[in-house]
Amino acid sequence: MASTTKIKINLEGIPTLTRKQELYSLMFGNVIHFVRIVDSRNGYIVLPKTSQDADKLMSPDFRRKLKTRCEPQMPLETKAKMTIVIKKVDSYITSHSNEEIKEELVRQLKLQVDEVYKMPQHGIVKIRFPDIQTANKIKEQGLILYNYSINPAQIEEERFTRVIQCMNCYEYGHVKGKCTKKNSEKCSECGQTGHRFTACKSTTKKCLNCGGDHRTLSGACPIRRKEITKVEEKKQEKQVQKENRLLSEVVKNTAKATAKVEKTIEKTAKATAEITKTAIKETQPPIMQLPNNLAAPVLSVESDDKEKYDGQ
Ligand SMILES: [Zn+2]
Ligand SMILES: [Zn+2]
Ligand SMILES: [Zn+2]
């Protein structure tokens, strides 16, 4: 499967030829194929060849081999592909904490699980695996959770919705280039000012937007969720509008076509009548010219009617 995922590798500093060569050889040594490596502000952007290569690049094993604080930045799009959404989950399951569900999953599947997030009011549990392949496998096979058999029909891929967010101040609704808060060094990981996320040494997470104990870009952020819902609703609205437009177009065209057909039918009927008339005229035998006294219509007159007829 071809990958369109870009993976950002932050290397605490500007790209240099030595750093790039190091990255090349490390990837070569771990049989990670890639299409391109591009220099970026704090490191490199790698375009892996396949999603398996992307998985390898983001595996904890490879991350360990890269120097400390050289974490690949996982694009949200990739994260969505690693996440499965289970619907119609029994309330018995959602009565457990995210951590408990995660432990149960690991015990049951004997697989690594990155994150569990539940939405009990909607009967939804989201599970993020460390790679796309595992997520795909579970989507196809289903799973067992607290003795509940979850079938593949209940499982969907996480939808990825791009929201407009400033990567400088992390507020929603504008992009970095339009940010009015220049020189504000905010950390999206710990919520502190004075450093960026690439230099964060804090072990605690704090959201810059809601103050919650999660990363600013976390899918668990209620403000982020609201933004995503807004975008999705707009998308939905646009889709409905498009469908309505198409439908009215179809109705209009059908009406036009019907009118055309009706006209044609009318025309055909007229023409047929005309032809019939002509044909009748042409096929009618010439009226025999009879002497005046014999010019009575030739009718077989029944004896009963004879009188009536004579009387006329
Ligand atoms: Zn901004
Ligand atoms: Zn920080
Ligand atoms: Zn938040």
Identify which has the larger pLDDT, 304 or 155. 155
Q: Are residues 37 and 45 in contact, defined by beta-carbon separation less than 8 angstroms?
A: yes
Residue spans of beta strands (DSSP E) within 138-220? 143-145, 148-150, 155-157
User: For the segment 2-55, what is each residue's pLDDT rounded down to a tens digit?
Assistant: 445 677 777 666 677 777 888 888 889 999 999 888 887 667 888 888 878 888
Type of residue at 234: K
**CB under 5 Å of ion ligand 1: residues:** 166, 168-169, 179
Ligand nearest to the CA of 216: 3
How much is the pLDDT for 310?
Answer: 46
Ligand 1: distance of its center to the CA of 228 in Å? 18
Ligand 3: distance of its center to the CA of 193 in Å? 16
Ligand nearest to the CA of 210: 3
User: For the segment 121-169, what is each residue's pLDDT rounded down to a tens digit?
Assistant: 889 999 999 888 999 999 999 999 998 999 999 999 888 888 899 988 9
Over residues 166-189, the mean pLDDT reads 88
Report how far apart the first and last C-alpha atoms of the chain are (Å, whole number): 99
Q: Is 169 exposed, middle or buried (0-12, 13-18, 19+ CB in 10 A)?
A: middle
Ligand nearest to the CA of 222: 3
pTM: 0.48
Encode burial over 219-242: b for 16+ CB neighbours within 10 A, e otherwise: bbbebbeebbeeeeeeeeeeeeee
SS3 at position 50: strand
Ligand 2: distance of its center to the CA of 12 in Å? 14
Ligand 3: distance of its center to the CA of 213 in Å? 7
Say whether pLDDT at 70 is over 70: no
Ligand 3: distance of its center to the CA of 222 in Å? 6
Say whether pLDDT at 260 is over 80: yes
Ligand 1: distance of its center to the CA of 187 in Å? 13
Ligand 1: distance of its center to the CA of 173 in Å? 9
Angle at 37 between CA 136 and CA 112, to 5 degrees: 30
Share of the chain above pLDDT 70, in %: 83
User: For the segment 199-220, what is each residue's pLDDT rounded down to a tens digit?
Assistant: 888 888 999 999 999 889 887 8
Over residues 70-92, the mean pLDDT reads 81
> Which residues make Cβ contacts (< 8 Å) with residue 33, sequence separation at least 6?
48, 49, 50, 53
Ligand 3: distance of its center to the CA of 229 in Å? 15
Dihedral sign of CA atoms 213, 225, 143, 138 in order? negative
